[in-house]
A and B are shown apart, each in its own frame.
Chain A
Amino acid sequence: MAEKPAASRAPLRAQTPETVVALLAALLVTVLLLVFGSPNPARALRAFFLGPFSNRYYFGNMLDGAGLLLIAGLGVSAAFRAGVFNLGGDGQIYIAGLVAAVVCLALPQAPAVFGIVLALVAAVAVGMLLAGVCGLFKYLWGTDELITSFLISAAIVPSVSYLIVGPLRNQQSNLLTTERIAEQFRLLRLLPPSNLNLALLFALLLAPLAHFLLYHTVRGYELRITGLNREFARYGGIAIGAYTAVPMAISGGLHGLSGAFAVLGTHHAAIQGFTIGLGWNAIAVALIGRNHPLLIIPAALVFAYMEAGARAAMLHTEFSFELGAIIQAVIFFMITAHVALPRLRLHLRGRSTAA
């Protein structure tokens, strides 16, 4: 089996040019596609750049999206940092969202805190289970977690959709959605009429917590060393087996959390396909943030802005295509590439050695 290179080796500052180049490339491709693919390029571009700031509704929704991306992005990096890949985020988020909705719908009379906590715990548990088994198989038999996590996720997505549009469907609604959860479980909205809610604040607290765990605890240190060099870690007496299964489970749990917040905070129901794509976006966010918990905050904001802009551009031009997927593809191509930028790199490297 091919060796997986560690997600990030070089110090953060030396990677700055690549990140900037990747984001600029994504921006350039987006602009080109809007110019050549839209009947009214000026309006499309205006919508793309300014759309997310045009009113409270769009702005709040963008921030809400950033919060979900931040949590899921932390989940992606939890696995990346230990040198394992969780490619099943999309399915983990989706099923966790459904589980959170089902818990709330099953207990319509329950007190708010009890219901919310139970929904969050159930969603996290489902995510942990789905990703954790992949880590466990990797630990036990060396089964490639990258492939199994993707396949398990792809296998369950249709079943989740089936449950939402079939047995659990709200017959009164025109949308393919479950019933809405009871009022008391809905997280406080911060910027009505937008979807922005308390989940964003929670996400913003989670990032420093992850940073602390990763950089200021022994386990975090051991996890990072395992991710950088498994052989070295084993030689140093680190139980690398544990750092295969546990980070995968944590990664799945964070994805699950993101899915639960999508229900409790954003949509108040599980809608068919409502989180599809979030898992892949989170991978992009983790990469832009170089798998560094604090850098993932701005990364999530930047990505949420580009995504909201793309959505606004499409709304205004009556022209639809998968701009999001193309933006992601460009970022994925560029973000780890060693692009030759001799002057800029030399300049930055000089600074980092001086510092």
Chain B
Amino acid sequence: MIFNAVEIMTPILLAALGGLFAELAGVLNIALEGLILAGAFAGILAGAASGSLVVGMLAGALAGGLLAAVFTFFSIRLRANIFITGLAVNLLAAGSIPFISTWMFGTKGVLRFPDLPRLPRLLEGVTSGVGFIDSLLFGHSATVYLAWLLVPLALVALYRTPFGLRLRAVGAREESVIIAGVDAVAYRRIAVLISGVAAGLAGAAISLRLGVYLPNISAGRGWIALVAIYLGYRHPIGILIAALLFGFTESLAGAAQGLLAIPGTVLLGLPYAITVVAMITYSALRARGLRRRRFIDAHF
């Protein structure tokens, strides 16, 4: 079950890490869902056409980045409402993929690619002697390790480079950054592009692992990633924990399905339900914490 949780959390972690860049630059990127979908579709197409998983991943990243570029063009360049354009990205992905799919393969349903190489598993057979640690760390798909690698990378990029400092400043205090001579708009665009690339990788990680493309393959992971950013206190390590938590609850729910005889259709809504409960709980706790701190500040 822990093994499964790690596999489930990977796309969420990838998308949330990218989304963190946008969030810290002051953009709530509600387009993650559509960006993941684009990455999943482009990733498996390119992977199957080239026979290379690396090419597939790169294509996923490219598709996510390109769609994010469209997103920034409208939302930042043309100053359109960022939430409406975010929805537009989601709708564009959901609407145009069936179109392309029908045009290329004659169906908008499930696409199978039998020739696609299987995603390699790394560190198989390595053992620490403790079952729990083994299933957490070893023998996972290569994409899992890619996601883990990106955690320290994001940490360094955001907190140990001038780029990261400016990016965070753009989100926290835009006016001072502009006075300091930093092109805030450019930083915001780059941040959204990064989140697009990461979401595209997340999508490719989903479809390449399954080896098939299903309609709505992203299944809400973009939204879950968005919530994971908050639950992780807008910090890469926190996001890692939050994503793991989501992965774990989801795999637990999957296991409970058989025991409790919950109908499968109802369970489709479960990831969303878990996510919204987590989000409300988090904000309630945080609000209480803030109030207490304010009380202490005021009285002592």
Bound complex: CA of A201 vs CA of B91, how far in Å?
A: 31
A177 to chain B, nearest CB (A): 15
A231 to chain B, nearest CB (A): 16
Please, which residues of chain B bring their CB within 8 A of the CB of A315?
none
Q: Does B300 contact A (CB under 8 A)?
A: no
Q: Does B272 contact A (CB under 8 A)?
A: yes
Nearest B residue (CB) for A331: B88
Please, which residues of chain B bring their CB within 8 A of the CB of A321?
95, 98-99, 102, 108
Please, which residues of chain B bring their CB within 8 A of the CB of A142?
283, 287
Stretch of B42-50, B78-86, B141-149, B195-203 that contacts chain A: B78-86
Known contacts A142-B287, A326-B96; A158 and B84 CB within 8 A of each other: no
Q: Does A325 contact B (CB under 8 A)?
A: yes
Q: Does A154 contact B (CB under 8 A)?
A: yes
Task: Check if B99 sits within 8 Å of A335, measured CB to CB.
Answer: no
Known contacts A137-B283, A161-B265; A323 and B80 CB within 8 A of each other: no
Known contacts A141-B283, A146-B83; A329 and B78 CB within 8 A of each other: no
Using an 8 Å CB-CB cutoff, how does the interface string of B56-94 with A read, 1 for contact, 0 for none? 000000000000001000100011111111011101101
Q: Does A205 contact B (CB under 8 A)?
A: no
Q: Does A355 contact B (CB under 8 A)?
A: no
Chain A interface helix/strand/loop/mixed: helix
Task: Check if A162 sits within 8 Å of B266, measured CB to CB.
Answer: yes
Q: Does A155 contact B (CB under 8 A)?
A: yes
Known contacts A141-B287, A155-B273; A283 and B87 CB within 8 A of each other: yes
Bound complex: CA of A60 vs CA of B298, how far in Å?
A: 64
How many residue pairs link A and B with beta carbons under 8 A? The number is 152
Task: Check if A143 sits within 8 Å of B265, measured CB to CB.
Answer: no
Please, which residues of chain B bring their CB within 8 A of the CB of A147?
30, 223, 226-227, 276, 279
Task: Check if B276 sits within 8 Å of A155, measured CB to CB.
Answer: yes
Interface residues on A, range: 35 or more
Q: Does B178 contact A (CB under 8 A)?
A: no
Q: Does B27 contact A (CB under 8 A)?
A: yes
A61 to chain B, nearest CB (A): 22
B197 to chain A, nearest CB (A): 20
Q: Does B263 contact A (CB under 8 A)?
A: yes
Using an 8 Å CB-CB cutoff, how does the interface string of B246-282 with A read, 1 for contact, 0 for none? 0000000000000000010111111011011001100
Task: Check if A326 sits within 8 Å of B92, measured CB to CB.
Answer: yes
Q: Does A118 contact B (CB under 8 A)?
A: no
Partner of A158, one of B80, B82, B102, B265: B265
Known contacts A141-B283, A322-B94; A1 and B28 CB within 8 A of each other: yes
Please, which residues of chain A bring their CB within 8 A of the CB of B268?
158
Q: Does B173 contact A (CB under 8 A)?
A: no
A57 to chain B, nearest CB (A): 27
Partner of A157, one of B226, B269, B279: B269
Using an 8 Å CB-CB cutoff, how does the interface string of A133-166 with B read, 1 for contact, 0 for none? 0000100111110111011101111110110011
Bound complex: CA of A337 vs CA of B75, how far in Å?
A: 7
The interface on chain B, measured as residues whose beta carbon lies within 8 A of the other chain's beta carbons, has a size of: 50
Partner of B280, one of A33, A148, A336: A148
Nearest B residue (CB) for A153: B272
Please, which residues of chain B bring their CB within 8 A of the CB of A156?
269
Output the residue of A3, A33, A320, A329 with the most chain B CB within 10 A: A329
Partner of B85, one of A4, A165, A336, A339: A336
Task: Check if B95 sits within 8 Å of A154, measured CB to CB.
Answer: no
Please, which residues of chain A bring their CB within 8 A of the CB of B26?
2-3
Bound complex: CA of A239 vs CA of B87, how far in Å?
A: 30
Chain B interface helix/strand/loop/mixed: helix
Known contacts A148-B276, A283-B87, A336-B80; A143 and B283 CB within 8 A of each other: yes
A53 to chain B, nearest CB (A): 25
Bound complex: CA of A145 vs CA of B224, how far in Å?
A: 15
Q: Does B292 contact A (CB under 8 A)?
A: no
Bound complex: CA of A240 vs CA of B285, how far in Å?
A: 22
Bound complex: CA of A155 vs CA of B280, how far in Å?
A: 14
Task: Check if B272 sits within 8 Å of A37, measured CB to CB.
Answer: no
Bound complex: CA of A156 vs CA of B102, how far in Å?
A: 30
Known contacts A2-B26, A283-B87, A287-B84; A33 and B276 CB within 8 A of each other: no
Output the residue of A147, A156, A333 with the most chain B CB within 10 A: A333
Task: Check if A322 sits within 8 Å of B80, measured CB to CB.
Answer: no
Please, which residues of chain B bring their CB within 8 A of the CB of A48?
none
Bound complex: CA of A60 vs CA of B78, how far in Å?
A: 38
Task: Check if B94 sits within 8 Å of A333, measured CB to CB.
Answer: no
Q: Does A338 contact B (CB under 8 A)?
A: yes
Task: Check if A333 sits within 8 Å of B74, measured CB to CB.
Answer: yes
Bound complex: CA of A326 vs CA of B88, how far in Å?
A: 9
Please, which residues of chain B bring their CB within 8 A of the CB of A85?
83
B196 to chain A, nearest CB (A): 15
Sorted nearest first, the 3 A-B pairs with minimum C-beta distance are A325-B95, A332-B88, A155-B272
A-B contact pairs, 30 of them (CB 8 A): A2-B82, A37-B103, A140-B287, A141-B280, A141-B284, A143-B279, A146-B30, A147-B223, A147-B276, A156-B269, A159-B266, A283-B84, A283-B87, A287-B84, A320-B108, A321-B95, A321-B108, A322-B98, A324-B95, A325-B94, A332-B87, A332-B88, A333-B70, A333-B80, A335-B80, A336-B80, A336-B84, A336-B85, A338-B79, A338-B80
